[in-house]
Amino acid sequence: MLGGLALLIGLAVWLADTRLPQQSESPAERVNQLLPQSQCGQCGYPGCRPYAEAIIAGDADIDQCAPGGDRTVTALANLLGRAAVGVNPVYGSPGPAQVAVINDSACIGCTLCIAACPVDAIVGAAQHAHTVLRDECTGCELCIPPCPVDCIALRLRLPQRVAA
Amino acid sequence: MKFIQQSGPHWLGANTVTVMMRRVLLALLPVSLVSVWLFGPGVVLNLAVAVAACAGFEMLALRLRGLPVAATLSDYSILVTAALLALSLPPLLPWWVTVTACFFATVVAKHLYGGLGYNLFNPAMVGYLVALIAFPQFVADWPGLSADHSWPEAAAALSYFATGALPASFDALSGATPLDTLKEQLGNMRTMAEIRAGEGFGLLAGYGWEWLNLASLAGGLWLLRLRVISWHAPGALLATLGSLYFIGYALDSGANPSPVLGLLSGGTMFAAFFIVTDPVSGAASPAGRIVFGAGVGALTFALRKWGAYPDGLAFAVVLMNMCAPLIDRYTVPRVYGHRQRP
Amino acid sequence: MTATPDSRPPRWGIRFTGDAVRHSTLPLCTAAVPGILRVPLQQHIGHRTVPLVAAGERVLKGQPLGAVRDQTLGARVHAPSSGVVRGLENLTAPGRPATPAVVIETDGADEVWPGYPAHAKPLRLATSALRQAVIEAGIVGLGGAAFPAGLKLNKGGGVDTLILNGAECEPCINCDAALLQADPQRVLLGAQIMLRILEADVCLVAVKQGMDAAAAALAGAIEQVGDDRLRLVTVPPVYPVGGEAQLINVLTGREIPAGGLPWDSGAVCQNVATAAAVARFLTSGEPLISRIVTVTGAGVARPTNFDARIGTPVAALIAAAGGYVGRECRLIMGGAMMGVPLANDSQPVTKATNCFYVAAPTETTPRSPERPCIRCGDCATVCPVNLMPQLLLQSGRKNDFEQLEHLGLQSCIECGACDYVCPSRIPLTQQFAANKQALWERARERRQAEQAERRFSAREARLAAAAAERTAALNSQTEAPEAALAELLKRVENGNDRTTKDPDTADKG
pLDDT tens digits, residue range C229-262? 999 999 988 888 888 889 999 998 888 888 788 8
Residue of C390, C457, C456 lying closest to C428 (CA atoms): C390
* Segment C444-463 mean pLDDT: 87
Question: What is the pLDDT, as a whole number, of residue B327?
Answer: 92
Nearest to C459 among A49, A119, A146 (CB): A119
Question: What is the pLDDT, as a whole number, of residue B31?
Answer: 94
Question: What is the pLDDT, as a whole number, of residue B107?
Answer: 94
Whether C199 and chain A come into contact, CB under 8 Å, resolves to: no
Pairing of strands C230-235, C202-208: parallel
Nearest to C455 among A32, A112, A136 (CB): A136
Confidence bin at B230 (pLDDT 50/70/90): very high
Cross-chain Cβ contact A135/C458 below 8 Å: no
* CA atoms of C112 and C62, how far apart (whole Å): 6
Residue of C449, C325, C316 lying closest to C29 (CA atoms): C316
* Segment B297-316 mean pLDDT: 88
* Segment B91-117 mean pLDDT: 92
Nearest to B10 among C336, C342, C425 (CB): C336
pLDDT tens digits for range C454-464: 888 888 898 89
Confidence bin at C22 (pLDDT 50/70/90): low
Cross-chain Cβ contact A119/C456 below 8 Å: yes
Confidence bin at C504 (pLDDT 50/70/90): very low
Q: Is the pLDDT of residue C320 over 90?
A: yes
* Segment C448-475 mean pLDDT: 88
Cross-chain Cβ contact B10/C339 below 8 Å: yes
Question: What is the pLDDT, as a whole number, of residue B323?
Answer: 93
Q: What is the DSSP string of C227-284?
A: -TTEEEEEE---BTTTSHHHHHHHHH---PPTTS-GGGGTEEEEEHHHHHHHHHHHHH
pLDDT tens digits for range B6-24: 887 888 888 889 999 999 9
Confidence bin at C3 (pLDDT 50/70/90): very low
DSSP A100: E
Question: What is the pLDDT, as a whole number, of residue C444?
Answer: 84
Cross-chain Cβ contact C411/B337 below 8 Å: yes
Residue of C147, C33, C136, C142 lying closest to C78 (CA atoms): C136
Confidence bin at B298 (pLDDT 50/70/90): very high
Q: Is the pLDDT of residue C154 over 60?
A: yes
Q: Is the pLDDT of residue C509 over 60?
A: no
Q: How far is A3 from chain C (nearest CA, A)?
A: 38
Pairing of strands C202-208, C304-309: unpaired
pLDDT tens digits for range C304-318: 999 999 999 999 999
* Segment C13-40 mean pLDDT: 80
Q: Is the pLDDT of residue C34 over 70?
A: yes
pLDDT tens digits for range C59-90: 999 998 888 776 566 788 899 999 999 988 88
Nearest to B279 among C377, C386, C388 (CB): C377
Residues A114/A122, Cβ–Cβ less than 8 Å: yes
Q: Is the pLDDT of residue C502 over 60?
A: no
Q: How far is C12 from chain B (nearest CA, A)?
A: 11
How many CB atoms are closer than 10 A to CB C8?
9
* Segment C477-490 mean pLDDT: 68
Question: What is the pLDDT, as a whole number, of residue B236?
Answer: 96
* CA atoms of C341 and C344, how far apart (whole Å): 9
Burial class, C200, CB count within 10 angstroms (exposed 0-12 / middle 13-18 / buried 19+): buried
Q: How far is C143 from chain A (nearest CA, A)?
A: 15
CA distances from B263 to A43, B271, B319, C303 (A): 67, 11, 20, 58
* Segment A133-139 mean pLDDT: 86
Better-scored residue on pLDDT, C53 or B294:
B294
Q: Is the pLDDT of residue C275 over 90?
A: yes
pLDDT tens digits for range B140-192: 777 777 766 777 777 777 888 888 776 655 555 555 677 777 777 777 777 77
Pairing of strands C304-309, C28-30: parallel
* Mutation for B interface: C241, C332, C371, most B CBs within 10 A: C371
Determine the Cα angle at B133 with ends B130 and B136, to 5°.
125
Question: What is the pLDDT, as a whole number, of residue C5?
Answer: 64
Cross-chain Cβ contact C341/B117 below 8 Å: no
Nearest to B3 among C344, C375, C407 (CB): C344
Q: Is the pLDDT of residue C508 over 50?
A: no
Kindly tell me whether chain A and chain B come into contact, counting contact as 3+ Cβ pairs under 8 Å: no
Q: Is the pLDDT of residue A22 over 70?
A: no
Q: Is the pLDDT of residue A24 over 70?
A: no
Cross-chain Cβ contact A164/C456 below 8 Å: no
Q: Is the pLDDT of residue A33 over 90?
A: no
Counting as contact any 3 or more CB pairs under 8 A, the partners of B are C
* pLDDT, mean over chain B: 87
Q: Which residues pair with C39 in a beta bridge?
A: C102
Count Cβ–Cβ pairs < 8 Å, chain A vs chain C.
Answer: 68
Q: What is the DSSP string of C415-460?
A: --HHHHH-TT---HHHHHHHHHHHHHHHHHHHHHHHHHHHHHHHHH
Q: What is the DSSP string of B237-302?
A: HHHHHHHHHHHHHHH-TTTS--HHHHHTSTTHHHIIIIITT-TTTS-SSHHHHHHHHHHHHHHHHH
Cross-chain Cβ contact B6/C337 below 8 Å: no
